[in-house]
Amino acid sequence: MIHHIFVVTFLVSLLHLHIKADSQVRHVPTQPPPDSRPVFTYAICNNIQRPHFTESIQLKVIPHLYLIDYMEIACKTASDRFTKFSATYYPSVPGYFIDSINGLAGNWADNKTYWRLLNNNSSTSVGASDLDPKPGDNVVFMFTKAG
């Protein structure tokens, strides 16, 4: 009988310890994983010329990089969705004008199409060589027909 009581007491205290340990684990504040630097969203969107396409990627903000650098990173790290882009350097601006993305080129002369650059739903006042995305930004190259 005494032996039984001892065993039951022992088991109950074990259970108690377990619950205690478990509740302690639950109350430990969640630590961010070591590689969770701030990100921004980069997207390309063509709704006007078939085949339509939209692609989006979250990229880590890296000091001293500009959008054109991130466009290259997207082509390297998600080459199935961000296949390529082409750009022309204008010393007059100065900077790179983005001519084509994923093989789709603007054609200002014939139909006033171009790749328009937006950040947080507003047209940017600078191009891809001068835009430095901040954490949380929503940067989009939108294929657009002017006028």
Binding stretches for ligand B12 (CB under 6 A): 90, 92-93, 95-98, 108, 114-117, 123-128, 130, 146
Q: 118: which 2 tokens?
A: 């937006």
Nearer to ligand B12 by Cβ, of 8 and 48: the residue is 48
Nearer to ligand B12 by Cβ, of 10 and 108: the residue is 108
* Element of type H or E holding 113: strand 113-119
**Measured CA distances, 88 to 45, 51, 109 (Å):** 20, 24, 16
Nearer to ligand B12 by Cβ, of 10 and 90: the residue is 90
Tell me how far apart the alpha carbons of residues 65 and 139 are, in angstroms, rounded to a whole number: 14
**How many residues are there in the chain?**
147
CB of 79 to ligand B12, least distance (A): 21
CB of 142 to ligand B12, least distance (A): 8
CB of 46 to ligand B12, least distance (A): 13
